[in-house]
Amino acid sequence: MPRRWTWWLVLAIYIILLLAGQTAATLLQRFYYIQRGNSKWMQTLTFSAGFPILFILLLLSPSISSSPDAKHSLIKISLAYIAIGLITTADSLMYSYGLLYLNVSTYALVSTTQLAFNAVFSYFINSERFTHLTLNSIILLTFSAAILGVHDDQDPSSSSNISGGKYVLGFMLTLTASATYSFILSLMELTFQKVIKRQTVKAVLEMQIYTALVSTVGAMVGLFASREWRGLRGEMEGFGKGRVAYVMTLVGASVAWQVTNLGLIGLIFQVSSLFSNVISTLGTPIVPVFAVFLFQDKMDGLKIISLLLGLWGFTSYFYQQYIDYVAEKKKKELQESGMAMENEMSAA
């Protein structure tokens, strides 16, 4: 079916949710580190713990009728949710360790590889079709994020005095986390296509809620098994802006990550995992713009170039979507015209 204006509206909403949520979550995460927060499992937990707020939207979503093989489908969907949730927990933890053992610039640079990994997974798992505009977008967005990676702005959260062994470990964990994150996105798209098979907003909400539930349980187990929970009270007492700010920072980050993931999964559902990652990567050069006002960062030439490259890459990919839309519309019109001619010939 040709894409109607409602499809574009929903797409725009998901893009706004992803960019706004990711920007807010990243800024709150940075604020957490600046104010002397350092719990790896707590950071992992905030990525998924805010999922209960989505139950409100789920209850407002229209229910769907059950199919004859609903029980069989429920088992497959549950297994998919559990697998994605547990992989997400491991991925979030690897990112946490990577940020602990690497300075922020190196961490950001290594993280840019996720778009290239996603392109590979999308090609082999999701049969993604690549055009020169798509490849142009991937290259531009990767360079956009990489510029920020090599731009060391003396971030207070940057690690220092890290031993060579821990540096290598941080590098490998961040690289593995980037590949795993890309795999998760492709796996979500495959789940929508082959397992869920429902074109509804409720399917998007269920995917986010239940995978986040599994991920939260996994993070809680890690928090208590590692005994890291014992240091949380001291961390809260030593938080630079006080205990209330500590709680509000973690709550705000948890909510922001849910908004981010809702937009991310929605874009996978509407378009593809690669498109969702393109939009996510676009958010990387947007964060420094807000950091200028919130943290008094400097907005220098490299950051402006990074932002312009990001916008160029996004425009390139979005233009490819428009070309596909026009081609799809023309194909539909030709089919309808052919059917009309056949009906006229049959009537004659």
Tell me: the pLDDT tens digits for 23-52?
888 788 778 877 888 888 888 899 899 999
For the segment 114-143, the average pLDDT, to the nearest whole number, is 79
CA angle 46, 227, 36 (to 5 degrees): 55
Q: In the chain, pLDDT over 90 holds for what percent of residues?
A: 21
Residue 147 has pLDDT above 50, yes or no: yes
DSSP character for 126?
A: S
- Most confident listed range (102-106, 285-289, 311-315): 311-315
Confidence category of residue 183, pLDDT binned at 50, 70, 90: very high
DSSP character for 192?
A: I
Which of 43-57, 199-213, 241-255, 316-330 shows the lowest mean pLDDT across its residues?
316-330
| SS3 category, 152 | coil
Own/partner contacts of 160-167, CB < 8 Å, gap of 24 or more, are: 160/103, 162/101, 162/102, 162/103, 166/101, 167/101, 167/102
Which pLDDT value is given to residue 298? 64
Rounded-to-integer distance, Cα 225 and Cα 231, Å: 13
Which pLDDT value is given to residue 167? 75
Which pLDDT value is given to residue 249? 93
* Per-residue pLDDT tens digits for 255-300: 999 999 999 988 988 888 888 887 887 776 666 666 666 655 566 6
Rounded-to-integer distance, Cα 319 and Cα 225, Å: 49
Query: In sequence order, what DSSP letters do the residues of 193-234 get, joined into one string?
Result: IIII---SHHHHHHHHHHHHHHHHHHHHHHHHHTTGGGGHHH
Q: How many residues does the chain have?
A: 348
Which pLDDT value is given to residue 272? 82
Which pLDDT value is given to residue 124? 84
Residue 343 has pLDDT above 60, yes or no: yes
Which pLDDT value is given to residue 255? 94
What residue spans of the chain are helical by DSSP H?
Answer: 5-34, 40-46, 54-60, 70-101, 104-111, 113-125, 132-150, 164-191, 201-225, 232-237, 243-270, 273-294, 301-347
Residue 197 has pLDDT above 60, yes or no: yes
Residue 157 has pLDDT above 50, yes or no: no
Q: For the chain, give the mean pLDDT.
A: 79
Confidence category of residue 225, pLDDT binned at 50, 70, 90: very high
Rounded-to-integer distance, Cα 318 and Cα 256, Å: 25
Which pLDDT value is given to residue 287? 64
Confidence category of residue 253, pLDDT binned at 50, 70, 90: very high
User: Could you tell me which residue, 289 or 204, shows the higher pLDDT?
Assistant: 204
DSSP character for 2?
A: P
Which pLDDT value is given to residue 260? 92
CB 212 within 8 A of CB 51: yes
Residue 89 has pLDDT above 90, yes or no: yes
Rounded-to-integer distance, Cα 210 and Cα 305, Å: 39
Residue 155 has pLDDT above 60, yes or no: no
Confidence category of residue 158, pLDDT binned at 50, 70, 90: very low
Which pLDDT value is given to residue 101? 76
Residue 329 has pLDDT above 80, yes or no: no
Confidence category of residue 14, pLDDT binned at 50, 70, 90: very high
User: Could you tell me which residue, 99 or 261, shows the higher pLDDT?
Assistant: 261
Confidence category of residue 154, pLDDT binned at 50, 70, 90: very low
